[in-house]
Amino acid sequence: MPGGLHINPALRDILPIRIKDALKILQSCTLCPRNCRVDRLGGEQGFCRTGRLARIASFGPHFGEEAPLVGRQGSGTIFFSSCNLLCSFCQNYDISHRNEGRDASPESLASIMIDLQERGCSNINFVTPTHVTAQIIEALAIAVERGLRIPLVYNCGGYESPATLRLLDGIVDIYLPDFKFWDNRFADRYLKVPDYRQRATEALKEMHRQVGDLSIDDNGIAIRGLLVRHLVMPEGIAGTAALMKFLAREISPATYVNIMDQYRPCGGAWEDATIGRSITVAEFEEALDAAFDAGIERIDGRRSRLKGL
């Protein structure tokens, strides 16, 4: 089987050290850039409303992800409750804002990973993992001893701390971040984070340093690398053109990008005049053109003009 957990013989030595470092962070939590500094080991909760244990909303094979992640048996998704962003337009509003789910011990989380592997999933896909990175690492030590060997996907919102990402170096195989906004005015308006662009650009550079461009095997399955998602927003407020130039020039023109057209008003978006509608065909086509014009060579589900495929 491919994946960092299979090919890295030192992982059993790495994980105990990373667990110790990650749990120390939870004592005054700075896992994400919000830096709440609450004692989560002692049961305190910050912005993410998550204490000592990870909270799981659902899990199972998922067939709605990008084709290189799905394979024949699906991507083994684990949806964690809450979030470190809580976007006002979140399409998983019940899970994120309402924090629906159940607390899970490290043993329970490890068992879920093994179950998904035994069901033939192509990978373990941690959805919204940022605020529970420490708990994930803790559970991985148990899962590895039980035979976990398929690739790990870190499916996040892009608002990450490089220090936390470095805890995952040699552990995560595939990074799957969103890049939501280029203009911090809109990030502040809809995510309540005025420094989103700076944090996201730093994070993507660290992710790419660790895993490089997306590698896909002969069966069309992703085994390692960076895959960036970008949701097209009404009125072009996501800043697609500038964002794609950054990816092409400062990450790699071979960055695998999924430009997504499924935006629809959810949560509190209905109350906002700018984002209270779905995007138009023209807005989506403009976003695709911006990616091609920037020099992005790999766009999920679209023919590449640069490669002539």
Residue whose structure tokens are 């595939």: 174
Q: What is the pLDDT of residue 276?
A: 95
* Amino acid residing at 30: T
Confidence of residue 14 (pLDDT cuts 50, 70, 90): very high
Name the E strands within the chain: 54-62, 75-80, 102-104, 124-127, 152-156, 174-177, 215-216, 222-231, 256-260, 298-299
Q: What is the band of 305 on the pLDDT scale with cuts at 50, 70, 90? A: very low
The string over 94-106, giving b where at least 16 C-beta atoms fall within 10 Å of a residue's C-beta and e elsewhere, is ebbbebbbeebeb
Counting residues of the chain whose pLDDT is more than 90, the rounded percentage is 88
pLDDT tens profile 21-74: 999 999 999 999 999 999 999 999 999 999 999 999 999 999 999 999 999 999
Closest among 205, 137, 129, 134 to 170, alpha carbons compared: 137
* For range 202-219, the mean pLDDT: 97
Residue 5, pLDDT > 70, answer no
**Is the whole-model pTM more than 0.85?**
yes
Tell me if 152 sits within 8 A of 174, measured CB to CB. Answer: yes
Query: What is the identity of the amino acid at 247?
Result: L
Could you say which DSSP state residue 270 is in? G
Is 308 a residue whose pLDDT tops 60? Answer: no
Mean pLDDT score across all residues of the chain: 93
Q: Where do the domains of the chain lie, and which CATH numbers do they carry?
A: 4-299 (3.20.20.70)
pLDDT tens digit string along 66-78?
Answer: 999 999 999 999 9
d(CA 73, CA 219): 13
Angle between helices 133-145 and 106-118 (to 10 degrees): 60
Q: What is the pLDDT of residue 10?
A: 64
Which DSSP string corresponds to 103-152?
EE-HHHHHHHHHHHHHTT-S-EEEES-GGGHHHHHHHHHHHHHTT--S-E
Token pair 């962003």 in the structure block, residue: 85
Cα(77)–Cα(248) distance, integer angstroms: 29
Band of pLDDT at residue 233, cut at 50, 70 and 90? very high
Token reading at 290: 């911006």
